[in-house]
Every structure is written in structure tokens, then in C-alpha cells.
Amino acid sequence: MSNSSRDTEDDVWDTDTEKEAAERRIGERSLRRLEGTFVTAGYSDGVEASKYENMQTGFDQALDYALPHGRHAGRLLGRLVAYREIHGRSATGAHSDSDSALIAAVDSAIARLRALESRSVLMGSKSCASDSCSCSSGGGGGGGGAGTLSQTYVAVVQEAEALVSRLAVGGDK
């Protein structure tokens, strides 16, 4: 063997051989597959991160909006339950017809408030976000944003507000 042919066989950086060209092609294909795998994984990770971020933002907005309304309904429920406990039982056990009707209305309002579920409070776009939100005007003022009060919530709270107002001025007496 000549010295020059021996030099090319021993040359690590000599890329002219068929075997090395085949190995390079295999390596390039493997690299493309690996790049594709990482691109797919990166895309999936980005989509998941975006979902989490947007869901968290939506949750935070809905919570900030719904919490005052839940508090308001809870206050109404508390007032009605307190009235029922204080005025629901007379010392003699007898009630006038108007007292009985009022107590029945209180019992009905209590049952409807307790039946409200969190998912039945919000629908659509924001309408009222004050801490002392009164739904007497059909959902309040304001506009645009995270959610609108459902018709069920508005009807139940309006009924309870009217009853609490009626009780505050002495009922039918």
C-alpha cells in the first residue's frame, strides 16, 4: 500500500467514502426526526401552557365577579333564616293568616336561595360588580366584561330582596 492511500484511510476527517456518506445521510434523517419531535413537544407544551394561563385568567375574572353576588345572596338568606327563627314560632303556636302567609313566603324564598348553584349565577357578559349589588334593577348597571347574572339568580334574589324589604317595614301588619 502506498503512503498516500494509507494516509486517506487513516484520515478521520476524510468524508469522501461511500460508507461515511451513508452514515451522514442516516445522521441527517435522525436529526430531522429529532427536530420534529422537539418541535411537536414544544408546540404541545405551548398549547398546554396557554390553556392553563387562559383558564386561570377566566377563573380569576369569574371569581372576582361572582363573589360579591354570592355574598349578597348569602346575606339575604341569613336575614330570612334569622326572621324565620325569630318570628316563625309564636309563644302559643298559633299564627294569624297573614303571619302564616308571610312565613310560607319566607320558607319559599329560603328554599329557592339554598337551591341556587354556583353555575346558575353567571351567564354571558358582566353587568354589575359592586359589593352591595342589588339585582332589583334586573342585574345592575355597569357593562361589558366577565359575566352576566342568570335569569334564575336575578329572579330568586329579586324575590328575596322584596321579601326582606317587606319584612323590614313590618310585613303585612
12-67 pLDDT, tens digit each: 666 567 888 888 888 899 889 989 888 898 888 888 888 888 888 888 888 888 88
Tell me phi and psi for residue 143, to 5 degrees.
160, 160
Q: Of 110, 106, 111, which is closest to residue 172 (Cα–Cα)?
A: 106
0.75 exceeded by pTM: no
The predicted pLDDT at position 167 comes to 87
Residue in the block written with cell 352576566:
148
Rounded CA separation 20/71 (Å): 75
Type of residue at 24 = R
Angle separating helix axes 151-168 and 18-87, nearest 10 degrees:
30
Residue 96 binned pLDDT confidence (cut-offs 50, 70, 90): low
Q: Could you tell me how many residues make up the chain?
A: 173
Angle separating helix axes 97-115 and 18-87, nearest 10 degrees:
170
Rounded CA separation 42/71 (Å): 43
Q: Are 83 and 106 in contact (CB under 8 A)?
A: yes
Q: What is the mean pLDDT of residues 141-152?
A: 60
Residue 108 binned pLDDT confidence (cut-offs 50, 70, 90): very high
Grid cell digits, residue 127: 353587568
What is the separation of C-alpha 32 from the centre of its chain, rounded to a whole number of angstroms? Answer: 42
